């Protein structure tokens, strides 16, 4: 694993810019929170400077994302990186031990939405509702899931889909098989 090539339009710079903007942070605020200069952060976002691993950890912490999100597989073809995400080169968040693994299906976070694949282990539950300033949609590929949107419970199974806008949600895989969901979130938050 190595940091995303910031000189590529689908690389680290646009992702950091998208994450910063999705959190309503200016470059000045980001600089204050990270202890780095506005100029340095601007250079990273424009692909003119490469952050150190320590910088990546700090920026991930400020943006409240796992540092692993800022890394990509060595197998990524630089000619297709802007458009294509190969199965073996997805950026991944979480572990099976955590009960949920999410893989970024979008090439980067610079667009108006992101798409990711969630695999939720049997009997795993999101206990506390999560409220994000996003519009979200999902498609249940396999398994069964209870989904609460704004305190209203829905029991979903493979083939069902959903959408909500700026509403709290939580979920529970009540079955003994994995649930696989394809999510679309706008604006990107990971």
Burial of 30-52, coded b for 16+ CB within 10 Å and e otherwise, reads bbeebebeeebbbbbbebeebbe
pTM: predicted TM-score of the whole model, two decimal places: 0.68
Question: Residue 185: pLDDT band by 50, 70, 90 thresholds?
Answer: very high
Q: 36-45, pLDDT tens digit by residue?
A: 999 999 998 8
Q: 115-139, pLDDT tens digit by residue?
A: 999 999 999 999 999 888 899 999 9
Tell whether the model's pLDDT for residue 72 goes beyond 60: no
CATH number for the domain formed by residue range(s) 90-186: 2.60.120.10
Q: Which CATH superfamily is domain 2-72 in?
A: lambda repressor-like DNA-binding domains (1.10.260.40)
Task: For the chain, give every domain's residue range.
Answer: 2-72, 90-186
Reading the block at residue 66, the tokens are 């796992």
């Amino acid at each position: 694993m190595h940091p995303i090539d910031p000189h590529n339009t689908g690389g680290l710079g646009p992702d950091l810019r998208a994450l910063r903007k999705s959190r309503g942070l200016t470059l000045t605020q980001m600089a204050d929170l990270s202890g780095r200069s506005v100029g340095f952060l601007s250079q990273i976002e424009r692909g003119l400077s490469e952050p150190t691993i320590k910088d990546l950890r700090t920026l991930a912490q400020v943006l409240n994302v796992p540092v692993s999100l800022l890394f990509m597989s060595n197998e990524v073809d630089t000619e297709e990186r802007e458009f294509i995400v190969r199965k073996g080169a997805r950026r991944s968040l979480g572990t099976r031990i955590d009960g949920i693994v999410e893989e970024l299906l979008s090439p980067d976070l610079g667009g108006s939405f992101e798409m990711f694949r969630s695999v939720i282990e049997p009997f795993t539950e999101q206990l506390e509702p999560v409220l994000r300033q996003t519009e979200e949609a999902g498609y249940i590929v396999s398994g069964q899931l209870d989904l609460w949107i704004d305190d209203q419970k829905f029991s979903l199974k493979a083939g069902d889909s959903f959408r909500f806008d700026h509403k709290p949600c939580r979920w529970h895989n009540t079955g003994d098989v994995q649930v696989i969901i394809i999510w679309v979130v706008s604006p990107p938050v990971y």
